[in-house]
Amino acid sequence: MFCPQCRAEYRPGFFECADCHVALVSHLPEPAPPLDADDQPFTGDFDILIRTGLQDPVAIALLKSLFEEAEIPFIELDQNPVVQQDSGNIFGSLSVRVPREREAEAREILRSVV
């Protein structure tokens, strides 16, 4: 028997971890394999702001899926109505930040959606 939280091993007959107070399991799950270099999260700067002008939820979803397919890291901005009003984005159009080195590709994808 094992604690799924702290991974401590217990003799049969125990049902709860004495430290974590969680139910014991018979087998621990296998640890996740380490990430390949291609699977590492983006750690650079999102230094380019692109105001897409898109307001249609379908077009926004399409653009985001195309960015993901092209593996362009991006951050959505102004999707909260209060933040939209505070930032002057009263029409609710999507703005994104992308890395400088992917700006041209991101703008080309945006042109294909608009």
97, containing H or E segment:
strand 95-98
pLDDT-derived band at 94, boundaries 50, 70, 90:
confident
Mean pLDDT calculated for residue range 60-85: 80
Q: Three-state DSSP class for 49?
A: strand
Instruction: Kindly tell me if the per-residue pLDDT of 88 is higher than 60.
Output: no
Average pLDDT, the chain: 82
- Whether residue 27 contacts residue 2, with contact meaning beta carbons closer than 8 Å, is answered with yes
Q: What are the pLDDT digits (tens) for 24-71?
A: 999 888 877 766 656 666 778 888 888 888 888 898 899 999 999 999
Q: Three-state DSSP class for 92?
A: coil
